[in-house]
Each structure stands twice: as structure tokens, then as C-alpha cells.
Structure 1
């Protein structure tokens, strides 16, 4: 990975304010990338049907009992939504309320009242339009394009790196949704550096070291690194206290590290020795990003006598609010037409790598690609 940050600068303000660039990024980065839309368990029960917005696209997730199918949330007749926005229902079949067309949970057209030859009108059939999807460690990802790399190829070596945490078996305990008044890139940039930690996160800085971190070697569409817990801290909590429990497969060094993984373009996975926190990014506008934060714990810990996850939930609620205030303030600053992008610090290496990938994508009019795997 390149570390020549001495001449590097942040992006110009226009990169965070332009409506045209935001629309371009939404199309190139988000709609052509793999995006998390939730945990498979949320939708898998047979007959569950949920309407979810993903990168501005309306999708229908249908549970089959064994998994899920994902479709464009539009009837093949006249395009009426099959499930109302942000709603979840349970029904044995997919039913359009406009003209009563009926589809199976597999998306096949089953009935079109008084339109018996509907299925014959199109040589490809009149089933619901599928959306590419993949399941990974309990999460459901979708891809709105037809030419993206396979999801496993996109992840590279991340699956193996995260294997000791057994993410697919973890239990979700809490969810917080934030409306952050900042461009999505500012949130990624903030996540990729801890230069801001001593001044922005006094609570975090009491329990985690903020320098001398380890950068991870990535072979996929992700960037990340780790920072050590301080010797006085048992966990990432407001008082540094936590359960005497560690994921059994973590080695001694990793058990004392907080590991940060930015799965681009829209998922942060923060893994500690006793729990995992994730943040999903949903860009709404050039200066607004919806963030879904979720906490996950091993069942063994959740069912232990007297255990409560509040220590982790309270800690990250505090940290989140500090980050969102910092990012929102930065958004206001870069929006001033007099703003001039400043230099990067030598230890902002992951941020530098991310900005290089952005600049390369802008230059050749392409989706984000992992330049770091070529180093």
C-alpha cells in the first residue's frame, strides 16, 4: 500500500456538495456495487415481504422459509408497488393491489384476472424482475447492476479474516438509525482515521490507543486496520469495563485489538473481542446520509447470568453522536465556496488510499475499484 501522503490533499469542497457528482456516485459506486440491506433473518420467514430502498432503488425482499428472493418492487403490468415503501407484510403470495395480479414468492406470475394470456405477451415471461443478491455472514447484500463481480470476489480475503467472530451466528441486540447531515464520503473518511480521536472522542481515547495501529492487507473491496485496547481497559465501554469473555478463536494479539473494516461503499464492521458493531450507509443527498447502526453479540455471552449489552450500546451511541457532529460540521465547512482542501497527515494512510481510489474512479468514469490490491 502506498504511504506517500506528504503531498496529498483532501478532496475539493465540490466533491461533497455537487448534485451532479452525487448522482454519478450513486450510479457508479452504489448501484454498481454490493450493498447491505439488512440481516437475512429479518426477511427469511416464509411469506415475509418487505419494501426496502437501496441506493434510491425500490426493492422487494420475499422470504421463502429457506432464504430470500429479491425483486424490483413493481408489478409487471403497470408498475404499481407490490409492497408500500418501508413496509413489511406477511402473505402467502405476492399480490398487486392495483389490478390484483398475483405472483409466487419465486416471482413467477400466477394469476392475472381477466388477462389470461398475460404471461404469453413477453417472450421472457411476465415474472417479477430479479435483483442480484448474496448472503454473507447473516447479511443480505444486493447489486443493482448486471455486470458487477461476484460478491465473494468483491470481498477478497475479508471472509477469512473475520472468520473467528462467526458473524453469521451473532445475535442482534439493538438498532439505531441516524440522519446525518453530511456527505457519505465524509463518514467513510472519518472511519478510516483516528487522528481525530483524542479531540473528538475523549471516552474512546481513554480505553483505546489512538496511534501505532496496524493496517490490514486487503485483496477485496475493503480497507481497514486495528488499534489496541489500553492495558487498563477490559472492553470498549464508557468506563473500560466489560465481560471476561473473548471469541475463542482470536489469538492473544487480536483479542486486545479493536478492528475496523470499511466494506466499500457502504458498510463498516467494527470487531472487538466480545462484540461487533456495524454501520450501514444509505446516501440520501449530497449533504445527507442515513446510517443504520446495529450491535451483535455471541449467544453464549447474551445468555450468561447477569449479562447486559448496555455497556457496548451506550459507548457507541456516545461515539456515534460525536462522529456525526464532527462530520456535519465538516460538511458545513467544505460547503463554503472559499474552502481550500488541506494536506493529509502522514498517518492518514487508509484515508489517502480511499481518496486515491475515488480520484481514479472520477478520472476514468468507472465504479470504485480496489487499487490497493495492485500494490
Structure 2
């Protein structure tokens, strides 16, 4: 079932209630969306705080690639030991990823004694146990408390009852996904397989786990994360914004999928004689065996992983909201390794998409400035913006139900 987003004046929230109340009131129980979301969805700190808690922490956020999160060493080029622990934030909740012989686990990054962080956010460690640097409480990699100074002989203290809070984490085609809002085993944790739905059938032929990082760019875009996602899901803007893209791919080509899972996307065609998305249309990397040579898959696994699968490389955009009007974007290019296992050269793909990214960012930033106008009112969807309507519908339903659902 899809939802309708109806109009709401951007200035009205000051007098008619909270921004979330206004957004929920704009989402009827059923019907196809006919208008974009109200401005508050893109400009309100209240809305972003709700999204961080319910869409990013409360869903399955992409945290990065398993080989990059744990493939390095704590001492970098100095030859340190392999990383065993890494702290990061999911939707405002600090989490601790742990890698051991038993595999990957995730815990709340908070000591069970006084709440001290086990690692600072963004930090990594090669220790063989989890050590709180405040009072030296120590945990095994399964989260069990194994050391608490002064409590060993206390008959009223239970080590078993003071283990770390474990959180759900999964690996899918080399990407790590975490859920930070509810503990492992809670019925409130959304089913990961249902979240992925039919997307594996589309992405699996590209063997993402077998690809290696060719290059990476990061951007801070002065636009709301949803404005960036909406831009990704339509090529209505391509003739004016992306002349280079239109030379290799018809902007009105392809189809939008309507398949199970918490994702949006479709495919686009390459023009005759074009082998991939590059400035010349020539291959940018070694062709990936078994994939369609004349199509590019464009999918967005909500909330924050965008995958663009080409005949010769896979590009991802990972979105992390910073403020209502700014988003950190990590753009990565993956390709098959060379015969000697060396990192591939995908510079032709990087050159093409860095140019295209910057064209998109300028458009998204202009949209964000326009959303701040008191005269903004939501506009209609063009006939080719069905994927944008699908995204708006899915997020609109989440505002009402409290969670992303297929």
C-alpha cells in the first residue's frame, strides 16, 4: 500500500504543532503520492532527529565494507596487529563492532559500570579483549564481563548480569549493516532478509564481495539526505544537468522495479556502442562476467546505501546526515582485481562520476536553498519520476508507522 503526501505550508509548523505531526497529517492511509513532501521534511531539526532514531538507528544502516572496517591494522603502515574493535555511530547511537574467531558482533558502546565509552567514536583497537579505560572493566569478545576490580568476591554481584548489550549486525555481499535501536533478539528488530527482499537477485551477479576498492571520494553536500536520494532516483533532470551522461545513456531509458524489500530502484540502458558509464563510453575496468553488458542497475537500499552496478564496476554512495541541510557522502568505486591481486585502475569511471556527482550536488544544494523559502509548496511528480514517488511513499509511511517497511 502506498501513501499520499499532500501539501503543507513550510511556515505553518510554527503555529500548528510539531513538524512530525504535520508530516504525519499529510500522509493519508492509502493512495498514490501526487506531490513531494512538505519543506519540513528537509529543513526541520525535529524531523532529522526522528529519522536518525527511527530510520537510521531503527532500520538497517550500512556501516561500510567488512574488509575495510577490519582489514587494516591499528598501527597502519607500521605493521600493527589486526583491528579487533571499531566504534562508530548509527543514527546518533554509539556502537562497538568486534571481530574475533567467532565472527562479527556489535554491542552498545557503553560500559555496564558507569556508561563510559569503550572506544571513542571513530576509534579502533587491536586489543584481545574489550577494556573500559575508566575503571578497567573488561569484557570478552562475546560481551561477557570477565574483569571488574573489587567485585570478584562480592556475593551480591553477578558478572553474568553485567555483560555488554548486544546489537544486531549482518554482512551482505561484503557490506556491513547494523541495527542500533533494539538489542539482539528483540521482536522490534526488523527482519534483515525481508529488508533486502528481492535485491539480492539483482546485485548478486555483480559479485560485490569479490570486488576491491579502486578509489573513493567523500563530499559534504549542503542538502538534506532525502533531496540527494530523490535526485538519484530520476533522470528527468539529466538533459540539462548531465550532458556527459546523456551521451552514453538515454535519460528516458530503463525501468523502475516494484519488488519486495526496503529499497527503490531500476535500470537504465547504455547507448549503442557504449560499454559503460565513462566520458568516452569505453570500459573503465575489467568486465564483470555474467552481467548484462548494456544496462546499469541503480538501487537505493534504505536508509543509506546507494548501489550503481555497471558492466565493469560497482559504485556506491553511502549517505550520513549531518544536519537537516547537510549530508556526508562517501562515493566508492569497486572493480575486479588485477591478475596479481593489485587494486584496479578505474580512473575513467571516477572521472566520469566525480563530474556527475558535482553536477548533482550543485542541483541538490539549489533545491535545499529553495526549500527554505516561505513561498515553497510541494510540486507534482513528472511521469518519469515514479521511483521518486515510491521513495516518498515509503518514507511517508515510515513517518506514520515508526519504521521503514517494504
TM-score in terms of structure 2 length: 0.83
Matches within 5 A, 1:131-210: 131-146=167-182, 147-210=188-251
Residue of structure 1 in register with 2:353 after alignment: 316
Is 1:213 matched up with 2:254? Answer: yes
Moved more, 207-216 or 184-193: 207-216
What's the offset of the Cα at 1:59?
A: 0.9
Number of residues paired by the alignment? Answer: 365
What's the offset of the Cα at 1:174?
A: 2.0
Q: Is the 8 A contact 1:16 1:335 kept in 2?
A: no
Residue of structure 2 in register with 1:94 after alignment: 130
Residue of structure 1 in register with 2:121 after alignment: 85
Matches within 5 A, 1:226-265: 226-242=267-283, 245-250=286-291, 254-265=292-303
What's the offset of the Cα at 1:124?
A: 5.8
Take 2:311 and 2:147, find their aligned partners in 1: how far apart are those partners? 52
Q: Is the 8 A contact 1:43 1:62 kept in 2?
A: no
Residue of structure 2 in register with 1:292 after alignment: 330
Q: 2:41 aligns with which of 15, 26, 35?
A: 15
What's the offset of the Cα at 1:160?
A: 1.8
Take 1:292 and 1:181, find their aligned partners in 2: how far apart are those partners? 14
SS at match of 1:9: coil
Residue of structure 2 in register with 1:354 after alignment: 391
Structure 1, residues 192-225: CA drift from partner, whole Å, max 9, x if none?
A: 1111112112222221111031122311111111
Take 1:119 and 1:173, find their aligned partners in 2: how far apart are those partners? 56
Q: 2:59 aligns with which of 3, 26, 33?
A: 33
Q: Is the 8 A contact 1:295 1:313 kept in 2?
A: yes
What's the offset of the Cα at 1:238?
A: 2.0
Q: Is the 8 A contact 1:36 1:280 kept in 2?
A: yes
Take 2:354 and 2:177, find their aligned partners in 1: how far apart are those partners? 25
Take 2:329 and 2:101, find their aligned partners in 1: how far apart are those partners? 28
Q: 1:340 aligns with which of 369, 373, 377?
A: 377
Q: Is the 8 A contact 1:174 1:295 kept in 2?
A: yes
Is 1:130 matched up with 2:166? Answer: yes
SS at match of 1:239: coil
Take 2:327 and 2:235, find their aligned partners in 1: how far apart are those partners? 21
Q: Is the 8 A contact 1:75 1:81 kept in 2?
A: yes
Residue of structure 1 in register with 2:266 after alignment: 225
SS at match of 1:361: helix
Q: 1:246 to 1:66 in 2, by over 3 A?
A: farther
Take 1:8 and 1:212, find their aligned partners in 2: how far apart are those partners? 22
Q: Is the 8 A contact 1:215 1:226 kept in 2?
A: yes
Take 1:77 and 1:117, find their aligned partners in 2: how far apart are those partners? 17
Structure 1, residues 297-350: CA drift from partner, whole Å, max 9, x if none?
A: 12257859x962111122221122221221111111111111122221111011
The unaligned stretches of length 5 or more in structure 2 are: 5-30, 72-81, 183-187
Query: How big is the alpha-carbon RMSD for the aligned residues of Structure 1 and Structure 2?
Result: 2.6
Residue of structure 2 in register with 1:373 after alignment: none
Take 2:200 and 2:353, find their aligned partners in 1: how far apart are those partners? 24
Q: Is the 8 A contact 1:44 1:68 kept in 2?
A: no
Is 1:58 matched up with 2:99? Answer: no
Q: 1:118 to 1:33 in 2, by over 3 A?
A: farther
Take 2:393 and 2:362, find their aligned partners in 1: how far apart are those partners? 26
TM-score in terms of structure 1 length: 0.90
SS at match of 2:135: coil
Q: Is the 8 A contact 2:265 2:387 kept in 1?
A: yes
